């Protein structure tokens, strides 16, 4: 299986919403590669710390994962 990387965006928990991890992945990713990325993010201490959560190697709760396809071009717009 070829290695693949993802952009990981982390949002801390706020009142009324759980901590969230957004994985931005390439459009041609396979299910096996996606599973490996989710597993890697779900067991990464740095991800939990960024989300404001305490990391426990045996626990994989407290984070919501969202998966997005990486766009070929991103444009920043200011108002």
pLDDT digits (tens, 9 = 90+) for 14-50: 888 888 899 999 888 999 999 999 888 888 888 888 8
**Is the residue at 44 inside a domain?**
yes
Does some domain include residue 60?
A: yes
Cα-flanking dihedrals φ and ψ of residue 54, to 5°? Answer: -80, 130
Cα angle for residues 28, 51, 18 (degrees, 5° grid)? 90
* Contact call for residues 21 and 63 (beta carbons, < 8 A): yes
Residue 51 lies in a domain: yes
Global confidence as pTM = 0.75
Dist CA 51 CA 56 (whole Å): 13
Half-sphere exposure of 12 (CA within 13 A, CB side): 7
Query: How deeply is 27 buried, as exposed, middle or buried, from its count of CB atoms within 10 A (0-12, 13-18, 19+)?
Result: exposed
- Residue 27 lies in domain: 21-69
pLDDT value, residue 32:
92
Confirm whether 6 is domain-assigned.
Answer: no
What total number of domains does the chain contain?
1
């Amino acid at each position: 299986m070829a290695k693949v990387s993802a952009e990981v965006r982390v949002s801390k928990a706020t009142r009324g919403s759980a901590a969230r991890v957004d994985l931005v992945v390439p459009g041609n990713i396979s299910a096996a590669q996606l599973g490996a990325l989710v597993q890697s993010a779900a067991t990464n201490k740095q991800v939990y710390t960024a989300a404001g959560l305490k990391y426990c190697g045996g626990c994989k709760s407290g984070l919501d994962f969202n998966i997005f396809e990486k766009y070929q071009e991103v444009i920043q717009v200011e108002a």
